[in-house]
Amino acid sequence: EAAKYEKKVLVLDFVKPTPLGNSWGLGGTCVNVGCIPKKLMHQAALLGQALQDARKFGWQFTEEVNHNWMTMTESVQNYIGSLNWGYRVALREKSVTYENAYGEFVGPHTVKTTNKRGVEKLYTAERFLIATGERPRYLGIPGDKEYCISSDDLFSLPYCPGKTLVVGASYVALECAGFLAGLGLDVTVMVRSILLRGFDQDIANKIGEYMKEHGVKFIREFVPIKVEQIEEGTPGILKVTAKSAKGDEIIEGEYHTVLLAIGRDSCTRNIGLDKVGVKINEKTGKIPVNDEEQTNVPYIYAVGDILQDKLELTPVAIQAGRLLVRRLYAGATNKCDYVNVPTTVFTPLEYGACGYSEEAAMEKFGEENIEVYHSHFWPLEWTVPSRDNNKCYAKIICNIQDNERVIGFHVLGPNAGEVTQGFAAAMKCGMTKEQLDNTIGIHPVCAEV
String of DSSP letters for 154-209: HTT-SS---SEEEE--SHHHHHHHHHHHHTT--EEEEESS-SSTTS-HHHHHHHHH
**Cis peptide before 17, with omega less than 30 degrees from 0?**
no
Distance of CA 264 to the CA centre of its chain: 10
Beta carbons of 145 and 169 less than 8 angstroms apart: no
CB of residue 26 vs another protein: minimum separation in angstroms? Answer: 11
Q: Per the annotation, does 169 bind a ligand?
A: yes
Q: Per the annotation, does 171 bind a ligand?
A: yes
Residues that bind another protein (CB under 8 A): 78-79, 81-82, 85, 88-89, 92-93, 100
How many Cβ atoms are within 10 Å of 379's Cβ, its own excluded?
18
Query: φ, ψ for residue 207 (rounded to 5)?
Result: -65, -45
Burial class (CB within 10 angstroms; exposed 0-12, middle 13-18, buried 19+) of 122: exposed
92 or 364, CB closer to another protein? Answer: 92
- 3-state SS class at 445: coil
CB of residue 71 vs another protein: minimum separation in angstroms? Answer: 17
119 or 429, CB closer to another protein? Answer: 119
CB of residue 100 vs another protein: minimum separation in angstroms? Answer: 8
98 or 378, CB closer to another protein? Answer: 98
- DSSP H or E segment with residue 226: strand 222-231
Q: Per the annotation, does 434 bind a ligand?
A: no
Q: Per the annotation, does 39 bind a ligand?
A: yes
79 or 329, CB closer to another protein? Answer: 79
CA dist., res. 414 & res. 47, Å (int) = 13
Q: Per the annotation, does 103 bind a ligand?
A: yes
Beta carbons of 442 and 384 less than 8 angstroms apart: no
CB of residue 80 vs another protein: minimum separation in angstroms? Answer: 9
Give catalytic status of residue 256 as yes or no. Answer: no
79 or 138, CB closer to another protein? Answer: 79
CB of residue 112 vs another protein: minimum separation in angstroms? Answer: 21
Q: Per the annotation, does 170 bind a ligand?
A: yes
- 3-state SS class at 399: strand
Annotated catalytic residues are: 443
Q: Which residues are annotated as a binding site for NAD(+)?
A: 168-175, 263, 305
Q: Which residues are annotated as a binding site?
A: 39, 103, 168-175, 263, 305
Q: Which residues are annotated as a binding site for FAD?
A: 39, 103
